[in-house]
Every structure is written in C-alpha cells, then in structure tokens.
Chain A
C-alpha cells in the first residue's frame, strides 16, 4: 500500500468521524436545550402538520429567503439544488450495485455541476457588489465560498478536461467502506478534490454550515401557534410554579 493511499484513507476515516461526531454533539445540544417560551414568527401554523409543511417549504423552496431577496434566492436555490444533485450523483462511487435512482440522476447531476458554480459565483459576487453584504462578510465567508468553488472546479476538471481513473477511485472508497483498502490513483486533480472535500467535512460541524441542522431547531419556524390551547412548559420554567 502506498503512502498516498494510507494518508488519504486515514484522512477520510478522520473526516467522517469528525463530521458524524461533531454533528451529533451539536444536534444533541440543540435537542436538549429547551425553548421555554412560544415564539413562532406569526402567522404560524396551528397544527403539527402545518409546521411540517412550513419547514418543508423552507427546506425545499427557501420560502423566507424568497420573500426577502430575489437575487440571493435565485443564486442560493440554484446552488443548493445543484449541490444536492451532485451529491446524489456521487453516491455511485460508494455503492455496488448502484441504486436505480442514482443511475437515473446521472445526466442531471452532470449539468448540476455548472449550476453549482453559477450559484456560488452569484453568491460570491454579492459579497463584493452589495455594500451591506460586503460589510458583514468575514474572511471565513469568503474562504467557504472559495472552498466550495475549488471543490466544484476540481471535480468538473476531472469530468471535462482530464479524466481520472474513476474505476480505481470507486474501488478505493468501496475498500475504505469494507475495510479492505485499495490503491488511490495519484492524480493531482483528484487529490485536490478529495482533500478539499475532507476539509469541508471536518469544518461542517464547527462552522456556519450548521445552518442546515439549525433550521429544524429554530423555534420561530418549528413551533405550533397554539399557546392559548396548550400550556407550553420547559423543565426549568415549570420548576418556578412549585
């Protein structure tokens, strides 16, 4: 086994561990932190089903962002949908046989690569062109976009400019998953691509990428509007009644 294979193999084990454990700890914290008061942003659904619909609209269509800023919505939505397609397309490298939905999505996944870059470019442009957004942008905001764009560009480079030995890459990842390591091709574009993805996985639970799980725990979005019908009590608040 080459040093390269060993380093990348360990890197991905570490990255997946950081992602899963980090996210678990964060979500656990969100879960156990109480929301002592009813604070849904009204008008809000009065039933649980309504809340599920509200959250679904937020997750799938970015409803609030649409109300807020059409440009941000266009670029943000294109980016996220493209990213979802691209990620699903990549599942083929982690399974044998490949699920039929993953096979079906392949052509869309390829186009989505362009959508991903377009969306990111639009979002980055706002950080320079809109003075308000320029004011609030930190170095990490720019780096995050640079990281995602670099991942997209290195991936597209392998797709359209210089193919990598994708069969060997798949064997490498299946090997990692089955604890039966296979060699990783020493292709620079591939190594850049995989290295950056590993970085993304590691920083996910310690960065603003927490907006993904955060949305589901946001009391202004996930609470039902029924404070007069049911008494809402957190443990520390109900202790005051005694």
Chain B
C-alpha cells in the first residue's frame, strides 16, 4: 500500500527550531500486527473487551520491574530542555514529538491511576483516563520514537524516552495492539533464524557466491565460512549484510580482515542475525530469547571469541545486555554464565565490535593499507545512535567515537567530521531506527532525517564529501532510501569496513 503524499522539508543553511504545529503527524500510524503475527509471539491477537484494565495492570507490573520507568514517570519537571532535541520534532514540528510530550502521553495516564494528585486533582496535573483516543495517540506517537536516546543526554535527570517508548510498546503488545513490522520480524527470527527470513541453504549459497565474487575481484581465496566447529571467532552480523547493498560490502571487508590477520572465523546459520528487535518492543523475554540463540551457537561451535558486525542497536544489545541476558561477557560467578565464559578467551573483550577488532589489528601493525585506493572518496562519519549513547568500544569512555574514525583515517586520506553538535553523543538518529524502518512510516523517516541531512549538506558544500560512512545496518538501509529525497545520491552511504575492504592489502597466505 502506498503511503499518502507528503512534502520533503527544505534543507536550511542553519538549523532552525520549528514552531509547534499541533497534530502535524497525528495521521501517521504504522500497520497494526495481525492476529497470527501477534499469536506467534504469545501476544493477544486483538484488543479484548477489558483492554483498559489489562493495560493499567501491565503498567503497574512494569513500574515494579523497571526503576527507570518508575523514576522517569515522577521526575520530569517540564523544563523543556529536551523539547528541541528530537529529530522527529525538528523534522515535523509536531509537539507530541517533543520527548517531554511523548513521555507525557504515558505520564498523564500514570498520574491518573498511580498517584495521589492524579487520582484526586486530575485537571490540575494533566492526568487523564486511558481512553481509546489516548491509546490511539500512544500507538501513533510511540511509533514515532526511534529510541535513540538523544533526549536522555540533555535531560537534567537523564530521563530516557526510549525507556518510556519501550514500556508503552510492551503494554500495547500485551493488550493486542502490536506493530506489524517489528513483530513480524521477531517471528521470522524465531522461525527461520534471521530478520530477513533467509533460510540456511540460501545463506550457504549466498556465501559461496560471495567467495567467487571476491576471488574474481582480488584473485585471492577469501573464505566466508558457515557453521565451522572449532573456529576461533564467531561473527554475529545483521542479516542485511548478506543480501543488501551497501551492507554486503562491509561483510566482504570483515572477511578480508580475518583473512589478512590469519584468524579463523565462522558465521552461524542458527544465529545468522545480530539484530534484536526484542529491544525495540521493550519485551525482556523476547530480547532474551533472541539473544540466547547466539549463546547456543557459541557453545555448539566451541568458539573462543564473539565478534559483532556493523549494526547499531545490535551492538547496544551485545555490549550492554548480552552479559545480563546470556552470559556472553566476563566476570560472572554463576553456573549459567560460567558454562559459556569458561569457554571464551578472557584475554579478549567479549563480545568484541568488529571495529575494535580491526582497530586493534591496525594498532598492532598487523594490517597494511593502500590508502590511495580510497582517494576518490571524501568521507564523513555518521555516529549511529545506539552505538553512540548506548554502548562503548575500547577501554575509555567515548571509544565508540574514536575507534571508527581512527579506522577510517587509517584506510583513507580524506576525512571530515560533520558539525560537532550533530555527532558524538549528540548525534542524530538516521530517522529509521527503533523499529520504524518500514515503508508505512516513510513520511516520518524522511522528515526525521532532516537534521542529519542538513549537517551532511554542510560538509558536502564545504569539503566535497561524497561518502557517509556508518556502522549500522538500519542507518545504511534508511539513508539509501531517504538520501534521494534530499537530492543526494543513494550510493553516498556505506560501511566503515567497506572502506577497509577497498584499501586493505591482501597477501596470499
């Protein structure tokens, strides 16, 4: 189904905070998950008669399980610090896309049912009953948040709208109002093993094809191993790396790095997906079940290290949550985690980001590059939100900003950062994260990309930038789609390991 026509916002020379335009995006809602999609995840198929009381019960349960939600419902003072920080607000002007207003959609219900002031003086504190209209607002605006956490950087209390969005989606799933895109994909992971729904034999076929192509390009036998027991490294990468452009170019880059370093590695057909949409829908059980496939693959293949490919939210889940969810990490003393941690090589960080892996080899002088091979590229780097604000690389805070840039500068001669308030911890989401990378939300995706496009335009004009490197499958897919709306070439976006792939020197081993 085609989405309604909309206007792409003009790119301004200087970023301007839009005036509030109430209701500007209230028409936009993603498709609701059908009954079979919902049932496959153990959620009700549709709204039941008593959905309201079920939703309130669920909210009470989540308030008791997540300190973040409980504190964030109480702590906001409506100071407005976050009000101009969300890319969706900057791109649409819809006031309900201001983080504070998005949180308030839930907060006003919280106040009504869980606080003294809201129970007895609802008008005074803006408390409301959970009506069908409020629920529809939730569905619309909690699917206009990419859980990128930019607001949490600027909030004086660290209130993270992503936590609220996740809770809202969890509540909506629990009463039968799930989002089609995310829940369908989670079903595919359970059924087939990855988000794209690529079955094992097709994956094997693809990897063989890649070996042939790479051989044609380089004249060297570079392997793309699958399900190899006893390999040193298990590579967990987003399934888009197997099929999509420009993602696959980075996959070739990883393979070349492993080849050049002489480290044995393997992919897994069972755990052929780094992405974990369980996080997007805020469901701990889904998050955990999806992550457990990787633990199982690591145990079965007997690997010593787990390396994660270029994927933003996957790296947040891997870095921040895997140790908790599955024991992939270090420092545990419980039998469940030790079963895996005693197998993994504790001299290495577990899990390791592919950029940490490559950077470490570069720093040790184990890789050589022909930087001139990238001379046709004038490169900038888009920090992906989940990597920037929900994870780390290396030993120092902020390593997630330094390491990818250090790799780029090791493999290419022309690098220019975008404006400082649009990168690093203040980076803008690509506009397609958090389970919104779906055609039914195209208007939101295009408008939400505006702040990034304005920053890009500046480096294009000042430094002739023609390549925006990023380390996230969603960023790559999103930019490929929205760059043309703003008059840029869709081929401008690519991976960091795509650049590595271009410049790396391959000795025949």
Contact = CB atoms under 8 A, between A and B. Distances in A.
B149 interface: yes
A33 B117 contact: no
A214 interface: yes
A30 interface: yes
Chain A's interface size range is 35 or more
A228 B74 contact: no
A195 interface: no
Given A34-B65, A231-B334, A221 B157 contact: yes
A194 interface: no
A105 B425 CA distance: 39
A218 B319 contact: no
B323 to A, nearest CB: 5
Contacts, number: 231
Nearest to B74: A210
B176 interface: no
A217 interface: yes
B160 A39 contact: yes
A210 B320 contact: no
Contact of B425 (A43, A72, A240): A43
A136 B104 contact: yes
B143 interface: no
Interface in B185-221: none
A58 B149 contact: no
B292 to A, nearest CB: 10
A68 B104 contact: no
Contacts of B67: 30, 33-35, 217, 219
Interface stretch (B41-49, B325-333, B476-484, B492-500): B325-333
B389 A135 contact: no
B85 interface: yes
Interface in A88-139: 123, 126, 130-133, 135-139
Contact of B397 (A45, A62, A69, A132): A45
Given A35-B68, A36-B65, A39-B390, A206 B85 contact: no
B68 A231 contact: no
Contacts of B155: 64, 68
B385 to A, nearest CB: 11
B489 interface: no
A133 B388 CA distance: 28
A56 interface: no
A197 interface: no
Considering residues B63, B79, B288, B391, which has the most beta carbons from chain A within 10 angstroms of its beta carbon? B79
Contacts of A126: 80
Contact of B160 (A140, A220, A233): A220
Contact of B81 (A34, A72, A240): A72
B324 A38 contact: yes
B152 interface: yes
A109 B479 CA distance: 55
Contacts of B260: none
Given A136-B101, A137-B78, A232 B85 contact: no
A30 B71 contact: yes
Contacts of B68: 35, 39, 218-220
B87 to A, nearest CB: 15
A62 B331 contact: no
8 contacts: A36-B65, A39-B390, A72-B81, A210-B75, A228-B331, A229-B331, A231-B323, A236-B65
Interface of A: 26, 29-30, 33-39, 41-46, 58, 62, 64-65, 67-69, 72, 76, 123, 126, 130-133, 135-141, 143, 203, 206-208, 210-211, 214-215, 217-221, 225, 227-233, 236-238, 240-242
Given A132-B95, A211-B74, 17 more contacts: A33-B66, A37-B324, A41-B149, A41-B390, A58-B156, A67-B153, A72-B80, A76-B156, A133-B80, A135-B22, A136-B80, A208-B74, A220-B149, A221-B157, A231-B324, A231-B332, A232-B324
